[in-house]
Structure 1
Amino acid sequence: MIDHLAILAPGLLGASVARAARHFGAARRITLWARRPEVRVQLKSQPWCDAVADTPADAARQASLTVVCAPVDQIVALTSEIAPALPAGAIVTDVGSVKGEICRQGHKALPAGRHFVGSHPMAGSEKTGWEHGRADLFQSRVTFVTPLPETDPKAAEAVAAFWTALGSDVAGFAPDAHDEIVAHISHLPQVLASTLCASLAKRDPKWRNYSGGGLRDTSRIAGSDPKLWKTILEQNRDEVLRALRAYQDELHGMERALANRDWFEVQAILERGRAYREQFRPIP
């Protein structure tokens, strides 16, 4: 059990961390900090929150574990801001969907005896805001924990144990390996869903009213926050470009097969896709 848990900038993920920590008894005390004063007022009345701090440093001052839930381009800045206030032995983690530079810069930002260990729960939603947080959001979902070679092993173990306590299945990878993986399994699907809808938006808008479940299922994540995803794509640009180029090769293969009336190849592509889809983990 974490003695004192601090959560900075709680949106969907941060509020879910707090709710889950309270539900599963993973923290004795939970302190939150939100950037907007009106949100801090709203959070004070939540039963899964023991205190709301006025500044990030105040929230983290006595915390044994601080979870930074800000957008990926703000995580290092917040980590640097709280660094002087952290008690000896404190651990800082995050929930950002890009890890390489965040882990390297986060590690550098902390003084000796304080530890940064990157995390990324694969448990988001197209919804945003703390009011959508759920105690079961991480249940049976994968959370990446991404220590650097120089990361203190006990700190990495503590972060992994925390996510396990919230019901998550922990997967350990180096930060750069994580970024390659999520470029293909998370960032590429977002780009495909968004560009599909952007393309269809150029057609007759009434067409959407005739669609069945296929378009809704395929395009669900196109409803995600564009500003948030613009930042993620900026941070993981190189890996996303590699994933896009590999996907373009596959798409061009389908285009060639159709153009050449190579129905054997068309079916082969469809069968490879179905075989991959059928091996997904069961939905929790």
Structure 2
Amino acid sequence: MEDGFTTVSIIGVGLVGGSLALALKEKGLAKKIIGYGRNHQRLKEALKLGIIDHYTTSLEESAKADLIVLATPVGVFEELTTQLVSYLKKGTVVIDVGSVKEHVVNTLEKIFPDGIQFVGTHPIAGSDKTGFEYARADLFKEAKVIITPTDHTDIKTVERIMRLWQSTGAVVEFMDAAEHDKIYALMSHLPHLISFCLVNTVAEIDTNFIKYAGSGFKSSTRIAKSSPELWKDIFMMNRENILHCLDVFIRKLDEIKTLMSSEPTEELKKFMEKAKKLRESID
């Protein structure tokens, strides 16, 4: 088990944390998986489903691991690690699975002392479903995982974490944390924001209209079912990048509004054809 870990602690046993636990077990990359959380009953259910091997509500106990995975909402990372750090043994590796990287990496690197290796990671895999009930071992198969090392990150640890993610079926890419946040503000965070706004537009006009939703509305707004607790943290931590993308999006709305207000339809058609062509490039 050269690239595996004897004991892994999942801090926050939800969809992503639970799926990673299952993947590590399936690939034989962890002998024991500890699940940490605050809800005894939920942790018992995760244990019963075989997602974890042991559970605890004690951060001190969860720190007795070779690899610790931060899989809670990003907004509580700083509080958790501040409490966790005094219990960690030298040589422990810590990773996160949050979708904001610059704030997380800069903050956590200052908290962890020498001898504790932190590697920022972001698996581009998930669902509007939340909770370990939806966890599955193949969630990361062919999914991108972005790793955001810094000048302070130990290269051997980075390579070990890279191989760990690759073993789950993921395709690993390295990226600067600031660049990551610019990209995913546009490719993930803005779509979630727009989805929430689209559903709230229905609420503003007439909530009864929602019962007439067809496949187009449902597919466009699926991600509005995502966890508000999770996404409020993401929106605020990456707000500058998201607000920039939102400004561009508002300009696009103004552009199509102007096109629809005039009689000629050719420019309106070109506007949509441009979008259609780019969207088809990722099918």
Q: Same fold (TM over 0.5)?
A: yes
Aligned to 1:219: 221
TM alignment of 1:248-267, pairs within 5 A: 248-267=250-269
Partner of 1:117: 119
Which of 89, 105, 108 lines up with 2:110 in the alignment?
Answer: 108
Q: 1:205 to 1:84 in 2, by over 3 A?
A: closer
Q: CA offsets, 1:187-217, max 9 Å, x none? A: 1000111111101122233433333211111
Which of 134, 137, 143 is equivalent to 2:136? 134
Q: Residues of 2 paired with 1:137 and 1:195: CA distance?
A: 28
1:23 counterpart residue number: 26
Structure 1 residue 28: Cα displacement? 2.3
The residue type equivalent to 1:252 in the other structure is D
**CA deviation map 1:227-252 (0-9, x unaligned):** 22112111111111011011112221
Unaligned runs of 5+ in 1: none
Match of 1:2 among 2, 5, 8: 5
The count of residues paired between Structure 1 and Structure 2 equals 280
1:6 aligned counterpart, secondary structure: strand
Is 1:208 paired with 2:210? yes
The residue type paired with residue 66 of structure 1 is I
Measure how far apart 1:114 and its partner are. Answer: 1.0
CA drift at 1:262:
3.9
Structure 1 distance, partners of 2:27, 2:15, is 18
Instruction: Report sequence identity in percent.
Output: 32
Unaligned runs of 5+ in 2: none
How far does the alpha carbon of each residue in 1:28-86 deviate from its partner, in whole angstroms, 9 at most, with x for none? 2211111222223333333232222331221222x221101111111122222222222
For 1:25 and 1:90, locate their aligned partners in 2 and report how far apart those are by CA, in whole Å.
19
- Does the CA-based 8 Å contact 2:16-2:135 persist in structure 1? yes
Partners of 2:243 and 2:227 lie apart in 1 by 20
Determine if contact 1:233/1:240 at 8 Å carries over to the other structure: yes
Letter in 1 for 2:75: D
Corresponding residue number in structure 1 for 2:101: 99
The one-letter code sitting in structure 2 at the alignment partner of 1:41 is K
Q: Give 1:151 deviation, angstroms.
A: 1.3
Counterpart residue number, 2:41: 38
